[in-house]
Homo-oligomer: A and B are copies of this chain.
Amino acid sequence: MNPAVSTLRAILNPRSVAVIGASGDPAKFGGRVMHFLVKHGYRGRIVPVHPSATAVLGIPAVSKLAAAGDPVDVCILALPAAHLPAALEDCGRAGARGAVVITADFAETGAAGAARQDELLQIARSHGMRLIGPNCLGFINPPLQLALTSSVALAVEPMPRGAIGLASQSGSLMASLISHAQDLGTGFSVAATVGNQADVELCDLVEYFIEDENTRAICLYIEGLKNGARFLELAQRARAAGKPILAVKAGRSAAGQQVTQSHTASLAGSYAVWEAACRDHAVCLLDDPEALIYCADFLIRFGAPAASSIAVMSPSGGTVAVTGDRVVAAGLALAEPGAATAAELQKLLPPGRTINPLDVGGLPRASGLDSALTAYELLAKDPAVGAILIAVATTPQLEDKVRQWGRAALAGNKPTAILLTPGTLVDGARDALKEIHCPYTNRLDDTLRVLRSAVDYGEALRNPPPPASSSTISSNITAAVLAHATTLPEGRLTEPETKTLLRAGGIHTTDDVLAPTPAAAIEQAQGIGYPVVLKGVCRTLVHKSEAGAVKLNIADADALRTAWREIETRLAAHLPGATLTGCVVQPMIRDGTELIVGCRWDAQFGPVVIIGSGGVLVEILDDVQMAVAPISSAHAHRLITGLRIAPVLAGVRGRPAADVAALADTIAKLSVLAAALGPRLVELDINPLLVRDSGAGVIALDARATLMASAT
């Protein structure tokens, strides 16, 4: 085991805890912490630290931690910020292995707070002590009956114990999830908050959970990661360990990003990159914190579905219709049960009913209850059915039926999501399911999230995992790109410069050579053959078309001279003082589909490669796919397949198919180029990349990039 993890394990599973600022008053932080420690029955040693009291809640107190004898495993501190450094110093001197700092008003409030936070971190490091927080709410370890938190969620007993490992950047979200887990009859191995992540960060907890035998699924509330690459490596390990990771990532919108930056001082990163990285690494990215519990509980009980299609059944015709509609609207496929299953089901059904979704209302009775259980079992044994959704509605003998369905679900091998559509009217059925530890949901939105995440996780597991970064990098391309980059200037590259970089990376471009004068351009045009394209080159010009610096369909030398003059005139008007370095001459090529292909440096995950529809489609389609670079050609092919324009590339209505193989190869090469240059390549766009008919390849018609000085 990683030594950092074993320290964290000791802190999360302590034999002794100290409460700095202990109090008997539950209105105070230190009072709630003491109350919860005692109330939930923690059996380790508790050391209240208080300047004057001799005991807190009947437990002997000390005025300085050093007076407590043997060092404690973890201290919790909820003191005013001004008193924290000295108190933390005391903890370190007394040999504590870790400290949990509840106090807020650090990096989340700006630069001064960040400096105060750094001071805490230096104190902790000087004593070899791990720091959780600041600006967090501590953690709970239900197997140890340990609540080391001031959260009011712990007012309710018992603490929810189970197989979910939760790490949250928000304290009150942890509290809300503790409440929901209690209500659903599920719970946690450990639930921990990390606040500003000054030291212990989400990834440390993920690593702990991967190695912790009490944990079978990992749930995360993330505002920002300290190290995206580490997260993806851990996702690979969790996948190999058979432990699903489920995550909610705040900061999807600009508004959410602003909040997370003020909330726990995190860099949010692009949500689209998050989606791509999670999809490729079998991490279930959810939009709702409470759904973490539903989805994790389902995967823990049932595992991932072996097939992706869903069967729906309900004793209510109306509920069957609405649920069938919503399953389809959620992008899930309704299963088509085999002929044998259908024939058996038909025997149970009145005329006119469909097989899926299946109305099991008013079926004939067998041994006291209707035949809905038989119908369930027929669906469950059909391999075309990946998972079953039972939408429970009011029906006679409801509780008995629900108990039967729940037992059959747990005993069988078919993931089954039970939805209880009525309210407290059917709390008897809820209790019956809790009694047998069968997961259920109360709103169809959550049932669909459960099925969607389980199906996606199953599909991700059936795909090969992404190869380790280094193995896909072509060392030839990397060497060529790095060597060529030394010849390029810093900052914004011109179109011909960017194309030289692309060619160094093995990507096909037009063979642009800068023509410094009209005469040189005319000579080039004669070599290429009219009609040609003439484009102005100017380092400070970003949008060439808008500035009138692109002239198409030039028929002869006279027209070229005119075009050159126009470019000069328009540039002067558009960017006063800018210098026209010259022009490039290109052949007129229009036969193909225009895409945009590019790469960016992402603050969380590093190099990212991006493809999307180009031309007029950019204006009306949000048709973009991306992946953390580098990627293989096969991976690039999956991205292409995910584009909305994919049917056009594949050839529709008698059009020829495009050269998708060459496109995938180009995307993979660009991803290697991006990975090779790392943070130096801020961004690079090929726009358009023309994809020609199958066999005819692709060609970069225009490109631009921004290259920074290499880090030294």
Which residue numbers of A lie inside 8 Å of B, CB to CB?
Answer: 27, 104-105, 108-110, 151-153, 155-156, 168-173, 175-176, 178-180, 182-183, 221, 223, 248, 250-256, 258-264, 287-290, 315-322, 324-329, 334, 350-354, 356-357, 359, 361-362, 393-396, 398, 421-426, 443-446, 545-546, 616-617, 619-621, 623, 644-645, 647-648, 652-654
Contact = CB atoms under 8 A, between A and B. Distances in A.
Contact of A255 (B318, B328, B620): B328
A354 B546 CA distance: 36
Given A170-B317, A258-B354, A259-B354, A325 B422 contact: no
A250 B356 contact: no
6 contacts: A105-B350, A175-B393, A223-B318, A256-B328, A617-B620, A621-B644
- From A168, A252, A652, residue with most partner B Cβ within 10 Å: A252
A495 B455 CA distance: 48
Contacts of A250: 318, 321-322, 325
A230 B587 CA distance: 63
- From A359, A422, A617, residue with most partner B Cβ within 10 Å: A422
A182 B321 contact: no
A172 B255 contact: no
Given A152-B394, A180-B423, 11 more contacts: A152-B398, A155-B425, A170-B321, A172-B315, A176-B393, A253-B328, A256-B324, A259-B317, A443-B446, A545-B654, A620-B623
Given A172-B393, A262-B352, A620-B645, A325 B251 contact: yes
A170 B318 contact: yes
Contacts of A653: 545-546, 619
A324 to B, nearest CB: 4
Contact of A317 (B263, B289, B617): B263
A255 B356 CA distance: 8
Contacts of A398: 152
A394 B153 contact: yes
Contact of A252 (B260, B328, B645): B328
A256 B545 CA distance: 50
Nearest to A258: B354
A156 to B, nearest CB: 6
Question: Which 6 A-B pairs give the minimum distances between C-beta atoms?
Answer: A170-B318, A172-B316, A263-B317, A179-B425, A253-B328, A256-B325
Contacts of A108: 352
B319 A393 contact: no
A444 B288 contact: yes
A225 to B, nearest CB: 15
A652 B619 contact: yes
A182 B315 CA distance: 22
Q: How many copies does the complex hold?
A: 2
Nearest to A150: B396
A178 B423 CA distance: 9
Given A153-B425, A422-B153, A425-B156, A354 B262 contact: yes
- From A175, A180, A329, residue with most partner B Cβ within 10 Å: A175
Nearest to A289: B322
Contacts of A318: 168-173, 221, 223, 250, 263, 289
- From A261, A327, A617, residue with most partner B Cβ within 10 Å: A617
A32 to B, nearest CB: 9
A350 B643 CA distance: 44
A115 to B, nearest CB: 14
B648 A182 contact: no
Contacts of A155: 425
Nearest to A223: B321
Contact of A423 (B173, B182, B359): B182
Nearest to A156: B425
A256 B263 CA distance: 44
Contacts of A644: 620-621
A264 B179 CA distance: 41
A322 B223 CA distance: 10
Contacts of A319: 170, 172-173, 176, 289
A422 to B, nearest CB: 4
- From A152, A318, A350, A356, residue with most partner B Cβ within 10 Å: A318
A354 B255 contact: yes
A176 B317 CA distance: 13
Contact of A324 (B153, B253, B362): B253
Contacts of A261: 352
Nearest to A593: B616
A566 B288 CA distance: 60
B172 A248 contact: no
A66 B359 CA distance: 39
Given A109-B352, A351-B109, A359 B321 contact: no
Contacts of A616: 648, 652
- From A176, A322, A445, A652, residue with most partner B Cβ within 10 Å: A322
A325 B109 contact: no
A221 B322 CA distance: 10
B252 A172 contact: no
A621 B621 contact: yes
Contact of A173 (B326, B357, B393, B545): B393
A10 to B, nearest CB: 28
A71 to B, nearest CB: 33
A247 to B, nearest CB: 12
Nearest to A251: B321
Contacts of A262: 317, 352-354, 359
A335 to B, nearest CB: 11
Given A105-B350, A255-B334, A350-B109, A179 B423 contact: yes
A176 B319 CA distance: 10
Nearest to A334: B255
A447 to B, nearest CB: 11
Nearest to A193: B318
Given A173-B393, A362-B104, A357 B321 contact: no
A4 to B, nearest CB: 26
- From A252, A259, A329, A357, residue with most partner B Cβ within 10 Å: A259
A218 B36 CA distance: 48
A350 B289 CA distance: 26
A290 B421 contact: yes
- From A258, A327, A395, residue with most partner B Cβ within 10 Å: A258
A172 B289 contact: no
A327 B256 CA distance: 10
Contact of A180 (B221, B326, B422): B422
Contacts of A334: 255
